[in-house]
Structure 1
């Protein structure tokens, strides 16, 4: 039995596909070719004249490189059940993944490592990250559990981040890209608005720079109490995830850029 909302589904699908095409800078013909559809068929889907099958939606989502959460949203908009599960960390199905994550965080000792979600919330961190944070904040606890807020808040790590402009600009570029590539993500948009409201944000940071390429290697330089610490970071993602939660997680591992930083981290890890 159809509900009164059923006729709205094709229109919603069309809106979503047009938003994602614009975000990916694809013409209707480009997307049709990538998804192995005729341009006419895609046009009919976008205008609500044709109801796409699950298989066609899967090909479109693949061609648009949509995150798993957004693929589920596309299916739901078409009246289908979501395809990808979303398991909370702590659920039995995620036990082995959690063990692997905990091992990777521990193996990074005595250097910092963080488990982050798509909004740069710090889901977990190793002991080195906590020790470094306490040193940089003179023993205070950070008011945030989010990497962007750490960097932009003058009451947080921003005050001791020597190359703040470089790091903040890079992170903001990633956030702008997330907002542009996920048009329906209200949480990402709200985070962008919040970050831009912090004092001292240059006007040109408020606009996305589509042609700007991310730095191949991002370094962070901290200075506190006469001690300068220099790190570079690597990002680990989970290949071919089949779960929404796992698709949105990554591990950021920090490595020392010089011997002085390495020695300080090693000393910080020793019991007092």
Structure 2
């Protein structure tokens, strides 16, 4: 009975988080509102297929779908595989291909909480230019690197705007996935000096361009970049669903030339389009 109530509470929480009424969710899941009401009250026990159907209707991430299954008394159905595992070799090849094609410009692969998993040479050159050589094998969290006072912030001239935009995206993640880990990441970012002031600052005015750039400056060198974020289209593994591929592109010719010069100086030739 306690598992039934655990599932019932989790189901109600997810429905409210997604902003659906019982009638709306029942329609999306193709069940009766009465049945959904009984499930939310713990008066009916769901089958495994019903848990998965409701989770899909609510667009619950795979990790949280497993949690809903466990709450209902079932074993998880979605695997979480290490990216280096042999069964993900073709996915890893695809990610390596994407990173290589982005040369000489930076590209990285991160997990749900912005822990760095893979980076191309362009990304390494950018970071080493700004903050110096990285310690081999040391874990890197790009969220902390962006928001914390002593890493990228001193070189990002529009840090307040970029950090504010980024933290709002983490807030959206925390509201969407409902995990303790994402909530803790958000709490950690909000605790850094200067973040509250950056979030409270009034908007700078009308946008001067189509995207918000990242404006880096170190000495006499200025870099103007914008980013894109891609995900895998049809993941059926927790690890793969949570991957993000962030690619950085120059916003002016001077930035593009500098990255090409760095690439040529390092002896790494960028792929030809």
Deviation at 1:133, TM superposition (A): 0.4
- Aligned match for 1:57, one of 31, 43, 51: 51
| Contact residue 21 and residue 31 of structure 1 kept, 8 A | yes
Alignment partner of 1:225 is 2:219: yes
Alignment partner of 1:115 is 2:99: no
| Contact residue 110 and residue 245 of structure 2 kept, 8 A | yes
Deviation at 1:204, TM superposition (A): 8.2
- Aligned match for 2:134, one of 135, 141, 144: 141
Which runs of 5 or more structure 2 residues have no equivalent in the other structure? 201-208, 267-273
Change (3 A) 1:43 1:238: same
- Aligned match for 2:161, one of 148, 155, 166: 166
| Contact residue 160 and residue 198 of structure 2 kept, 8 A | no
Instruction: Provide the TM-score with structure 2 as the length reference.
Output: 0.89
Which runs of 5 or more structure 1 residues have no equivalent in the other structure? 1-6, 207-214
Change (3 A) 1:203 1:98: same
RMSD, matched Cα:
1.9
Could you tell me which residue of structure 1 aligns to residue 94 of structure 2?
Answer: 100
Deviations 1:172-197 (A, max 9, x none): 111111111222x1111111111111
Q: Distance in 1 between matches of 2:197 and 2:31?
A: 42
Deviation at 1:216, TM superposition (A): 7.4
Q: SS of the counterpart of 2:257?
A: helix
| Contact residue 54 and residue 80 of structure 1 kept, 8 A | yes
| Contact residue 164 and residue 198 of structure 2 kept, 8 A | no
Deviation at 1:13, TM superposition (A): 0.8
| Contact residue 10 and residue 78 of structure 1 kept, 8 A | yes
Deviation at 1:226, TM superposition (A): 1.4
- Aligned match for 2:250, one of 238, 249, 256: 256
Q: SS of the counterpart of 1:271?
A: helix
Change (3 A) 1:201 1:144: farther
- After alignment, is 19-28 or 85-94 more displaced? 19-28
Deviation at 1:218, TM superposition (A): 3.9
Could you tell me which residue of structure 1 aligns to residue 65 of structure 2?
Answer: 71
Instruction: Provide the TM-score with structure 1 as the length reference.
Output: 0.89
Could you tell me which residue of structure 2 aligns to residue 211 of structure 1?
Answer: none
Change (3 A) 1:216 1:8: farther
Alignment partner of 1:14 is 2:13: no
Could you tell me which residue of structure 2 aligns to residue 194 of structure 1?
Answer: 188
**Corresponding pairs, count:** 256
Deviations 1:216-254 (A, max 9, x none): 734211111111101111111101111111000010011
Could you tell me which residue of structure 2 aligns to residue 151 of structure 1?
Answer: 146
| Contact residue 161 and residue 198 of structure 2 kept, 8 A | no
